[in-house]
Structure 1
């Protein structure tokens, strides 16, 4: 897949809009990681006894990252705010509805401690300030290179090559989509444009989870890059408006001939040399059509020829 540097990103959009201040929404509830422990989340606290800053999650995470700005961090008020979660948590509150296992090592390895649904507690002496991953049990992510997704079922996770960090992260698929969309579509754009973008971003990742044979220089398999070589993925970047678009369209499946479409997109119809009518969507075009009153379904069927939108 060629690098698509002409595709719109948040930074490019800011430049294209000639310095106009964009109305970037605040992170939303659980999915936005807002530093508040809410229903459906698994939460770390910086201090023992559920005190200090909070870091909230909605799914399993195989590696929190060790450095800013790419790590998962403590977002709530209080001691530890802004610090990376890895090897820094002291207590938890499990509001996810499933048993959560906290691991000493990244990749769900090493010693561990389980917290049942609803449980609050301190990490034991073997895991306090020595935590590197956690997993919601009963929703075990696949291992190795093979996805558990099909053309009719979403993948549970996606393998993301973190190019600058020189590692591959296994990311919950919905978390991936929510942390791509605000970096590819401008979060202040109209709702139907964001919904069209949400379907395209999801379909693009879904396609590569099913088809990728990529490997890093050291031989590790992955599905997508975290750059414009695929889609720009930045952990913790989810926004309220883009999360809402993802949630509203999560059940939508875009297929052509019964197969998941590799939904490609670019800033405009002329910005990307690889543009093919019927296979690509214009990001600015989706904005303009939404402003003109088009629904996201109409936008998608106008750009992607011969598709079927279903569930």
Structure 2
């Protein structure tokens, strides 16, 4: 996936990870009974270990747990011999062994929320850096998020998978909502109408391309189409503005293709600001402003920067 490291607009501060991934209410009754747990990882069980590499004390489970609990005597604890014995499992596990017949997903938050990591049947492994000593629940046979899009080169996707990097999660966002909440973070909203319209088509085309082509995975294995950072396009929910949204609405029917395929529409502040600039494949944001001020239409602006494209409705 292409990197775009130099941006035009000063970025909005992201919400802190702690606030976004804050604790949730304790579950009234965990699905996995504490009865029968003996601190031995046996066939049919999912086991959490205090240390990496399936070392230290073990806590064995036969079902899902929505909240491990944080205090004795009510928490799920490490029962096996070794380091960590008697400690509550919550925010203290480092590795797992899945001896059950189902995929098991370990979550950062209680109630099956936040960052997660999947372990297939028979898998042994360490928890990722985001989950090591930061685990609050697990679920047997979790629902999966489809990585496929309903979009084609002729029709835009109805939604896009956005990796919220600072929040360590993936959101499925309505595609038009995504474009409206990217444009004001990539173009100056006070710029001329035709510049904003050119930007709207470029932002939409870039996101559309990656919805069709991305095979990216988060560090914990979840699929996504684009990051919400300058690595792709800066997406900030709730940032849509009247001028930029009007530009998106006015150009929504426009499809930008090259050879019949949606264009991966790269853009940067100027032709010299971004490494990897290739004339004919990149658009200058400031250039779009200057051309719009000179009376160019958004179609003329786009065709002047992107070689060999077709604009169609």
TM-score of the aligned structures, taking structure 1 as reference length: 0.58
**1:8 offset after TM fit, Å?**
1.4
Distance in 2, Cα, partners of 1:212 & 1:145: 9
Q: How many residues align?
A: 190
Cα RMSD (Å) of the superposition?
2.2
Q: Aligned residue for 1:236?
A: 238
What whole-Å deviation, never above 9, does each CA across 1:143-163 have from its counterpart, x for those lacking one?
500000000001000000000
- Structure-to-structure mapping, 1:22-61, within 5 angstroms: none
In the alignment, structure 1 residue 283 sits paired with structure 2 residue 257: no
Matches within 5 A, 1:2-13: 2-11=2-11
Q: Which moved more, 1:232-241 or 1:3-12?
A: 3-12
Note the residue ranges of structure 1 that are not aligned, 5 or more in a row.
13-64, 69-103, 108-141
Seen in structure 2, the aligned counterparts of structure 1 residues 297 and 106 have a Cα distance that, compared at 3 Å, is farther
Higher relative contact order (CA 8 A, sep 6+): 1
Q: Partners in 1 of 2:190 and 2:167 — Cα distance?
A: 30
Q: Which residue of 2 aligns with 1:274?
A: 276
- Contact kept in structure 2, 1:281 and 1:300, CA below 8 Å: yes
Partner Cα distance (2:292, 2:3) in 1: 27
- Find the aligned partners of 2:228 and 2:200 in 1 and give their Cα distance: 17
Q: In structure 2, what is the Cα distance between the partners aligned to 1:218 and 1:10? A: 30
Larger Rg: 2
Q: Where does 1:102-251 land on structure 2 (aligned, <5 Å)?
A: 143-251=145-253
Q: Deviations over 1:34-88 (max 9, x none)?
A: xxxxxxxxxxxxxxxxxxxxxxxxxxxxxxx9957xxxxxxxxxxxxxxxxxxxx
Give the ranges of 4+ consecutive aligned residues of structure 1 lying more than 4 Å apart after TM superposition. 65-68, 104-107
In 2: Cα distance, 1:164 partner to 1:182 partner = 20
Unaligned runs of 5+ in 2: 21-110, 115-143
The answer for the alignment partner of 1:307 in structure 2 is 309
Aligned to 1:255: 257
Residues 181 and 197, structure 1, Cα contact 8 Å, conserved in 2: yes
